[in-house]
Amino acid sequence: MNPNPHHNNNADTLASIFQNFIDFNLNNCEVSLFLGADLQNNGVFTFAEVQLSNKLANQFRNFMNTFQHEKSVKFQKDNFLLQPFDFEATGDEIDIEYESFAQAPDIEQIIASLQVKPTIFQENDAEFIHGLKFAIFCCTAPSQKSIYFLQKYSSRKIMRKSLSIHRLLNNDVYDLLDTPLLQFDEVVHTVIWETHILIFDHAAYMHIFREGPHIQSIANQALEAIKQFDIFEQFDEFANSCQKDSRKLTKLYIISKKNRLESISRLDLQSIQNIIEKYQLNICAVAYSTRWRLQFQNKSIWHALKLLADDYALSEITGNRYEIYGKRNIP
């Protein structure tokens, strides 16, 4: 069993927010389904509504009721941890993360854009289908604000006409699939209501809202800051390598968001050399003017990036040193 989530004021606040989600009455809600697509890969979403029959809307509502109930049971048993969202964490199946619109104003704007009635989804809109990022099940009751259940979605979830895809007709006779079919998994990756964002799948949330264009602009700011701090002798080579690799851009995003550059720039030459030696990094620090610069070979750019991201740690239990692939701050 995991530690009780009600162990401090912050945890109490998160628990109260989660209880508010559990108490949300879905039974009389009208269910609408929207698909969100990033047409220009610039983080701006366009929406289309998928029209539902009453029967299908009821099935979706039943699924969301089941999802809500399952989370309620786990919550009562303290079977998961409520955590503030941290983009540097890797996510864990026992964790539920939380953000608010105050920390994510871009998501507030995305949800607000749904107040304008979207167009109807067209199965032949190739551009829209190519840009698909997520589906939103919107539940609206007359006396309540809407609650939104999100799942990651892509064009691969749409089955099109093909000689290899058939549909079953009456009397066990098969025929060609002559119209596209939309598939939806019984999963919820994120729930949004009022000003609250509950994240049930860290990787899916990152994919929808915190990758691609969201990272690029922040990564560019990080590169500019690294240039200003004059950390690398081969800055142009470093910057070019990062711009060609989305994983390196993500690491730059983390470095910028966590303000790591100021911390590492305050270290003296001996301190930075000691870190490089202890963790056997294939880079070196050399004296430059009144401070130091880092040198690297092409294949060791990752060592340099992970050093800037503070991705090396000493275990207090074993005394072993580790390279870290995901971490969460402890208050």
Computed on alpha carbons and rounded to an integer, the radius of gyration of the chain in Å comes to 24
Burial class (CB in 10 A: 0-12, 13-18, 19+), 191: buried
Distance CA 255, CA 238 (A): 15
Distance CA 192, CA 113 (A): 14
Residue 162 confidence (pLDDT) above 80: no
Does residue 15 or residue 193 have the better pLDDT? 193
pLDDT in tens, 70-129: 998 888 877 777 888 888 887 665 678 999 999 889 899 999 999 888 999 998 899 999
Amino acid at position 100, single letter: S
Amino acid at position 300, single letter: S
pLDDT, position 240: 94
- Both tokens of 269, joined, read 């030459």
User: What's 221's DSSP letter?
Assistant: H
pLDDT in tens, 215-263: 888 889 999 999 999 999 999 999 999 998 888 988 998 898 888 898 8
Nearest CA among 199, 205, 187 for reference residue 64: 187
- Both tokens of 83, joined, read 């955590």
Q: HSE (CB half, 13 Å, CA atoms) of 92?
A: 15
pLDDT, position 250: 87
pLDDT, position 106: 87
Angle at 221 between CA 217 and CA 223, to 5 degrees: 115
260 C-beta neighbours (distance < 10 Å), count:
18
- Asked if 192 and 109 count as a contact pair (C-beta separation under 8 A), the reply is no
pLDDT in tens, 267-318: 999 999 999 999 999 999 999 988 899 999 878 999 999 999 999 999 999 9
Distance CA 109, CA 43 (A): 11
Residue 174 confidence (pLDDT) above 50: yes
> What does each C-alpha distance from 101 to 45, 114, 182, 221, 297 come to in angstroms?
17, 16, 31, 23, 42
Burial profile 133-143: b = 16 or more Cβ within 10 angstroms, e = fewer:
bbbbbbbeeee
Helix segments in 89-164, DSSP class H: 105-112, 126-130
pLDDT in tens, 48-66: 999 999 999 999 999 999 9
- Asked if 157 and 50 count as a contact pair (C-beta separation under 8 A), the reply is no
Distance CA 153, CA 54 (A): 23
Residue 130 confidence (pLDDT) above 70: yes
pLDDT, position 199: 94
> What does each C-alpha distance from 16 to 10, 86, 96, 157, 297 come to in angstroms?
10, 20, 14, 35, 51
